[in-house]
Amino acid sequence: MVDDGALRGIDATGFPRGILPAKPERNPVEGNPVEGQIHPFRITTMTTSTRYAPGHPEPQAIVVRTPNWLGDLLVSTSFLRALLSRFPGARVDLIVRQGFQTLPLPHRGEVIPYDKHSVAPGTFGKAIGARGYSHFFVLPPSFSSAWMAYRSGVPVRVGHGGQGRRLLLRPAVPLRQAPRSVHLVREYLDLLSPWMEAEWEKFPPRLEASDDWIESHLPPALVGLSGYVAVAPGAEYGPAKQWPAAHYREIALSLAEMGHTVVTVGLPSERELGAAIVKGLDGGINLCGETSLPALVAAVARAALLISNDSGAMHLAASLGVPQIAIFGSTNPTWTAPLNAKAQVRYRGEPCSPCYARVCPLGHTRCLQNLAPTEVIAVAGRMLHGD
């Protein structure tokens, strides 16, 4: 069992509400003040808008343009679950980035893949309009996604304004706070404010992955294996979000000494990185680039713990309720922390972060370099062994 001092930003229900840097507290690892080391977090309330208006038309057939990044898509499952609950009689179809249609996403209808390289958003939108939807929800903040909705001709097109989108949407829901100042899940749930007051604690992000589904997609190398620790060392967004490979290697060596099998997971471009991390480890397995997306879901679902950067794999673990340690560098956990009662967030909060850059503009990535492996090893030990 994880001790209370190690869990930051967790409320009485077991879920983090809002996460902001707090005054220095005692280090849960060494018992020393953490100023200049790891920022703990305090709770702030995260409720949705108070613009509920019963006069808005009730949807009969809904289509949702879901986010393009895997992590954002997984966060948006909170919105999808709230939508399905609020309109139990409506068809709810999803438009997803090509390749994501294999995920067990919450829906009540069809999952429609979209490949921006093969068809223009306006052309795709016009074809979507022929399906007879009454409501089109636009989750990505891009102009092209709002243009897709506009070209569909669907009468009610709900999304946030900005980037010239306001005239394309009906209604355009204004952001209640500055971008990235509250958790992304709130931005999504706020799109439902004309119909309901949705609280994400009631609809935490979740994939609909049953035990049978997981078993049917589990990579052969993991069949019959239990208690392994999954490590996702990559960050598709860029190296400013990626904890150093040497740090991950040190983590892997320590976990192996504890008697745990280490399994690296990630993209084909991370195959060499994954191999270097588990090289020479007893039973170490490198699955980077070796799994389909459903197999990656299953691999994470069966892990005793996931250690990762702020990445799609991080939100994957959160959407499955898997114990996890999430390492933040150039991004801000206030905006994208894993919404998971079993999550530990490690974030230094350097003066230059969050910068949201793909590559460190100062060339040093101190926000990541200075986060010592010993801190993460100590937290992992408590989570795995309860001591």
Q: How many domains does the chain have?
A: 2
Reply yes or no: is the peptide bond before residue 354 cis, omega within 30 of 0: yes
Say if 229 falls within a structural domain: yes
**Are residues 185 and 314 located together in one domain of the fold?**
no
**Are residues 151 and 222 located together in one domain of the fold?**
no
Domain boundary among 158, 192, 226: 192
CA distance 290 to 74: 21
Range in 17-21, 80-84, 91-95, 365-369 the model is least confident about = 17-21
Say if 318 falls within a structural domain: yes
**Mean pLDDT over each residue of the chain, to the nearest integer:** 84
pTM for this predicted structure: 0.84
Range in 78-87, 133-142, 284-293, 355-364 the model is least confident about = 355-364
Give the model's pLDDT for residue 58.
82
**Are residues 271 and 374 located together in one domain of the fold?**
yes
**Are residues 243 and 338 located together in one domain of the fold?**
yes
Give the model's pLDDT for residue 55.
59
Give the model's pLDDT for residue 387.
58
User: Tens of pLDDT along 292-325?
Assistant: 999 999 999 999 999 999 999 999 999 999 999 9
**Are residues 216 and 317 located together in one domain of the fold?**
yes
Q: How many CB atoms lie within 10 A of CB 65?
A: 28
**Are residues 155 and 238 located together in one domain of the fold?**
no
**Are residues 124 and 216 located together in one domain of the fold?**
no
Q: Determine the structural domain holding residue 337 and report its residue range.
A: 4-15+209-385
Average pLDDT on 156-170 reads 93
Longest Cα–Cα distance of the chain, Å, equals 64
Say if 40 falls within a structural domain: no
CA distance 81 to 264: 30
Nearest to 151 by CA among 172, 173, 123: 123
CA distance 386 to 276: 29
Inform me whether the pLDDT recorded for 332 exceeds 50: yes
Inform me whether the pLDDT recorded for 229 exceeds 90: yes
> Residue 220's domain is classified under what CATH number?
3.40.50.2000
User: Tens of pLDDT along 349-361?
Assistant: 888 888 778 887 7
Average pLDDT on 170-197 reads 89
At 105, the pLDDT band (50, 70, 90 cuts) reads very high
Domain boundary among 143, 166, 192: 192
